A = this chain, B = another copy of it.
Amino acid sequence: MEIIRIPRIMREITKNLKIKSKSIGFVPTMGALHEGHLSLIRRAKDENDVTVVSIFVNPTQFAEGEDFEKYPRDTEGDKEKLQKIGIDYLFLPEATSLYPQGYSTYVNVEGLSDKLCGKFRPGHFQGVATIVCKLFNLIRPNRAYFGQKDYQQILIIQKMIEDLNFDIELIPCPTIRDEDGLAMSSRNAYLNEKERKAATVIYTTLREGERLLKEGLKPKEVKEKMIEILRSEPLVTEIQYAGVYDPLTLEEVSEKQAKYLLAIAVKINNTRLIDNFLVY
Contact = CB atoms under 8 A, between A and B. Distances in A.
A15 B106 CA distance: 26
A192 interface: no
Nearest to A107: B107
A105 B159 contact: yes
A167 interface: yes
Contact of A137 (B15, B130, B164): B164
Contact of A106 (B7, B103, B110, B138): B110
A160 B112 contact: no
A21 interface: yes
Interface string A1-42: 000000100010001001101000000000000000000000
A164 B160 CA distance: 14
Interface residues of A, number: 30
A234 interface: no
Contact of A167 (B15, B103, B130, B165): B15
B108 A165 contact: no
A133 interface: yes
Number of copies: 2
Contact of A18 (B7, B18, B106): B18
Contacts of A112: 104
Contacts of A230: none
Given A104-B159, A105-B129, A167 B137 contact: yes
B11 A163 contact: no
A62 interface: no
Interface string A162-186: 0111110000000000000000000
B167 A105 contact: no
Nearest to A15: B167
Contact of A108 (B7, B108, B166): B108
Interface string A87-130: 00000000000100001111111111000000000000000011
Contacts of A137: 164-167
28 contacts: A7-B165, A15-B167, A19-B19, A19-B21, A98-B165, A104-B109, A104-B110, A104-B111, A104-B159, A104-B163, A105-B108, A105-B109, A105-B110, A105-B159, A105-B160, A105-B163, A105-B164, A106-B108, A106-B110, A107-B108, A107-B164, A130-B164, A133-B164, A134-B163, A134-B164, A134-B165, A137-B165, A138-B165
The 3 closest A-B CB pairs, nearest first, are A105-B163, A137-B165, A104-B110
Interface of A: 7, 11, 15, 18-19, 21, 98, 103-112, 129-130, 133-134, 137-138, 159-160, 163-167
